Structure 1
Amino acid sequence: MSEPETRGDDERAPRYRIAWQRPRRHRQAICVFVINEGEKIRKQLRAMKEHADIIDLIVADGGSTDGSLDAGIMEEAGATALLVKTGPGKLSAQMRMAMDHCMNEGYEGIVVIDGNGKDGLDAIPSFVAALEDGWDHVQGSRFIPGGHHENTPLSRLLAVRLLHAPMISLASGFRYTDTTNGFRAYSRKLLTDPRVSVFRPCFDRYQLHYHLAIESVRRGFRVKELPVSRVYPASGKTPTKIRGFGGLVAVLRQLLDVCLGKYRAAGH
């Protein structure tokens, strides 16, 4: 295991610390985005060890303060790296952190997934296979044959089916069915293309997922959906980082901005 080091400059990627690392073993990595998920992330990481023979596990922590992530759970899960964001930004900044690390480490592609325990991990091999087969942007979907969802809040179901997916489909020219699903895969070719230009500080909230879904199609990359499952708790609080009406309005504004081309790379 190497000594911890600091990377990022808040332009290409937010400042971050490599809190734990061991040598790369595979061509692809799966990056788990997490912040203060407690025992849920520890349970998920243990379960992900089942796939350690085909993909490297990298945890992209947005700055958790709950003590859920440490060297012990990294070892137990067979992880390859723990990255801790110390610079500004939210989900898209975490994504840029993970992408920066993975490109620096020489990975040929990455799978991304949330760390709140809602996603079915049995789909991981199909995403790895898609990257190996040359697909550049792979979107997980609950709503295609083989997909599954349970206890999805009605407001979310209506939002993705009637608003979010149609808007991104119209902007991209590809019929997406589940554009709020964070289970995705990206090729190195897509992430390093200057026409897509993912390493910019303007991507700090939720914009980067939307941008990649649209620009991957517009720039002629190979795009498809794969079936996944997502199960929400049957009772209790819905796991989300979007807080209140103001948070929802902000997300919708970001979606509209991306669909209208606000984040397209200059000159492209």
Structure 2
Amino acid sequence: MPETGAGTGTGTGTGTARAVPQFDAVELRPKGSKYCVVVFVINEGEKIRAQLATMAELAETFDVVIADGGSTDGSLDLDSLRGWNVRALLTKRGPGKLSAQMRMAFSYALDQGYDGVITIDGNGKDDPAPIPEFARLLDSGVDHVQGSRFIPGGRAVNTPLSRWLAVRLLHAPLISLAARERHTDTTNGFRAYSARLLGDETIAPFRDVFMTYELHYHLAIESSRDPRFRTAETPVTRSYPAKGKTPTKISPVRGNAHVLQLLFRAVRRTYRRPTA
């Protein structure tokens, strides 16, 4: 029988209380690897089902954990998840969007004793084949691994021109400026984080200030600036449909304005932990 639990939102980190949204956890199989692959999803329908089917073989080597923002489309039924070798389903019940899902998943991973977390979006855009390379980089001592379609070996397939321009000419240069280190694909959620980075009290990712997209930016900037941590990029493939509407959860006007606001805050290092 699967073990079912609930996140309290008040777990403890390395000596400091964690702010974690309320969530339900259903464990479908025991822990079996040193790193877990966290898949972020909300109402992705057949896209997440196809992605998990593709990842089923990798899930025999790496524990796959679904971090669900509260899907209502029935795409994450437990029988299917078992068939795809998924280890656990976490369902966020508390407030917040992606950054809240990240805090939920990271807290669970630390409590479970994983040495690091590999993250990937559940919208079917990313080829999961590089997951073993992310793990190899974590093994080598890298603390923050950014997947990039814009470095040698990476592939950007059917990237909308507006997205390409926004990342290459605005988002990545600003993050790089703040990080004091070149970053090339700063909106890409295919990344890896060491447990050392996630549990660090100076980085402090478990705060309620991280609710939407802030945490990605904060972790990239602060891990690059802090000499205690190592960072790297690794090539990945991200593909968009050749035709039809661009799949995204960000609305074209209000959503993009919000992302820009968060970007400028992160670049000013607004999200650093307050010091006495």
TM-score of the aligned structures, taking structure 1 as reference length = 0.97
Q: 32-41 vs 12-21, which deviates more?
A: 12-21
Cα deviation, residue 216, structure 1:
0.3
Q: Which secondary structure state, in structure 1, belongs to the residue aligned with residue 70 of structure 2?
A: coil
Map Cα deviations across residues 109-138 of structure 1 (whole Å, 9 max, x no partner): 000000000101111111111111111000
Residue identity matched to 1:89: G
Match 1:185 to one of 192, 199, 208: 192
- Counterpart of 2:3 in structure 1 is 3
Q: Secondary structure at the match of 1:244?
A: coil
Correspondence for 2:212: 205
Matches for 1:249-260 after TM superposition, within 5 Å: 249-260=257-268
* Unpaired runs of at least 5, structure 1: none
Deviation of 1:217 (Å): 1.1
Please give the secondary structure, in 2, of the residue aligned with 1:94. helix
Instruction: Name 1:137's counterpart in structure 2.
Output: 144
Equivalent position SS for 1:208:
helix
Deviation at 1:73, TM superposition (A): 1.6
CA-to-aligned-CA distance 1:17-40 (integer Å, 9 cap, x gap) = 013432110000000000000011
Matched, 1:82 2:89: yes
Tell me which amino acid in the other structure corresponds to 2:273.
A
Q: What is the aligned partner in structure 1 of residue 49 from structure 2?
A: 42
Question: Pick from 173, 190, 196: which aligns with 1:166?
Answer: 173
Q: Deviations over 1:48-70 (max 9, x none)?
A: 11212331100000000000001
Counterpart residue type for residue 54 of structure 2? A
Contact kept in structure 2, 1:36 and 1:64, CA below 8 Å: yes
Aligned residue type for 1:40: K
CA distance in 2, matches of 1:40, 1:231: 13
- Counterpart-to-counterpart distance in 1, 2:61 and 2:140: 14
The one-letter code matched in structure 2 to 1:194 is: E
CA distance in 2, matches of 1:215, 1:15: 26
| Residue identity in the other structure for 1:101 | Y
Secondary structure of 2:56's partner?
Answer: helix
Measured on the aligned residues, the alpha-carbon RMSD in Å equals 1.2
- The farther-off stretch of 15-24 and 163-172 is 15-24
SS of alignment partner, residue 149 of structure 1: strand
Residue in 1 aligned with 2:14?
Answer: none
Determine if the alignment matches structure 1 residue 23 to structure 2 residue 30: yes
Give the drift of 1:8: 3.2
**Given that residues 111 and 183 in structure 1 are in contact (C-alpha distance below 8 angstroms), is that contact kept between their aligned partners in structure 2?**
yes
Of 154, 172, 177, the match for 2:161? 154
Separation in structure 2 between the aligned mates of residue 107 and residue 19 of structure 1, nearest angstrom: 17
Q: Which deviations, in whole Å up to 9, do the C-alpha atoms of 1:114-172 show, x marking residues without a partner?
A: 00001011111111111111110000000000000111111110000000000000001
Q: Following TM superposition, by how much is the alpha carbon of 1:47 offset from its aligned partner in structure 2, in angstroms?
A: 0.8
Matched AA of 2:147: G
Gaps (5+ residues) in structure 2? 11-17
Alignment match, 2:133: 126
Identity %: 54
Matched to 2:272, the amino acid is R
- Offset of residue 3 of structure 1: 2.9
> In the comparison of the two structures, how many residue pairs are matched?
268
- Partner of residue 238, structure 1: 246
Contact 1:20 1:71 in 2 (8 A): no
- Checking the alignment, whether the CA contact within 8 Å between 2:120 and 2:190 is kept in structure 1 is yes
Partner of 2:15: none
Runs of at least 4 residues off by over 6 Å: none
| TM-score under structure 2 length normalisation | 0.95
Name 2:13's counterpart in structure 1. Answer: none
1:203 Cα deviation from its structure 2 partner:
0.2
